[in-house]
Amino acid sequence: MRLLDRVHLVGGGWLGYGLSDRHDSHVYLVDGGSESVLIDAGCGLGTAAIVDRVAAARLEKSAGRVLVTHGHADHGGGAGALARALGAVVGASPEVATMLREADEDATGLAIARSVGTYPPHLRLEPSTVELELGAQALAVGDVSITVVPTPGHAAGHLCFLASDGDQQALFTGDLIFARGRVAILGTPDTDLTALRASIARLRELVGDAPTALLPGHGSIAVTGAQDHLDIALDCFARGALPPPLLP
The pLDDT score that the predictor gives to residue 247 is: 87
The pLDDT score that the predictor gives to residue 60 is: 79
Over its length of 248 residues, how does the chain's per-residue pLDDT go in tens digits? 999 999 999 999 999 999 999 999 999 999 999 999 999 999 999 999 999 999 999 997 889 999 999 999 999 999 999 999 999 999 999 999 999 999 999 999 999 999 999 999 999 999 999 999 999 999 999 999 999 999 999 999 999 999 999 889 999 999 999 999 999 998 888 899 999 999 999 999 999 999 999 999 999 999 999 999 999 999 999 999 999 999 87
Q: Following CA atoms 228, 214, 205, 42 in sequence, which dihedral angle do they give, to the nearest 10 degrees?
A: 140
The string of pLDDT tens digits covering residues 39-60 is 999 999 999 999 999 999 999 7
Q: List all residues 6 or more positions away from 65 whose beta carbon is below 8 Å from its beta carbon.
A: 37, 38, 88, 89, 90, 91, 132, 139, 141
Q: Do 62 and 55 contact (CB within 8 A), yes or no? A: yes
The pLDDT score that the predictor gives to residue 189 is: 84
The pLDDT score that the predictor gives to residue 37 is: 98
The string of pLDDT tens digits covering residues 149-168 is 999 999 999 999 999 998 89
Q: Do 58 and 98 contact (CB within 8 A), yes or no? A: no
Instruction: Report how far residue 152's alpha carbon sits from residue 227's, in angstroms, rounded to the nearest whole number.
Output: 19
Instruction: Report how far residue 13's alpha carbon sits from residue 194's, in angstroms, rounded to the nearest whole number.
Output: 29
- CATH 3.20.20.70 given to domain 2-238: no
Backbone angles phi, psi at 247, to 5 degrees: -115, 145
b/e for 46-73, b at 16 or more Cβ within 10 A? bbebbbebbeebebeebbbbbbbbbbbb
Strands 144-150 and 137-141: antiparallel
Question: 141 vs 5, 90, 166, 177, CA distance in Å?
Answer: 15, 14, 13, 24
Q: DSSP class of residue 90? A: E
Q: List all residues 6 or more positions away from 42 whose beta carbon is below 8 Å from its beta carbon.
A: 11, 12, 13, 20, 21, 23, 24, 25, 27, 50, 74, 75, 77, 78, 82
The answer to whether the pTM exceeds 0.85 is yes
Domain boundaries, the chain: 2-238
The pLDDT score that the predictor gives to residue 159 is: 98
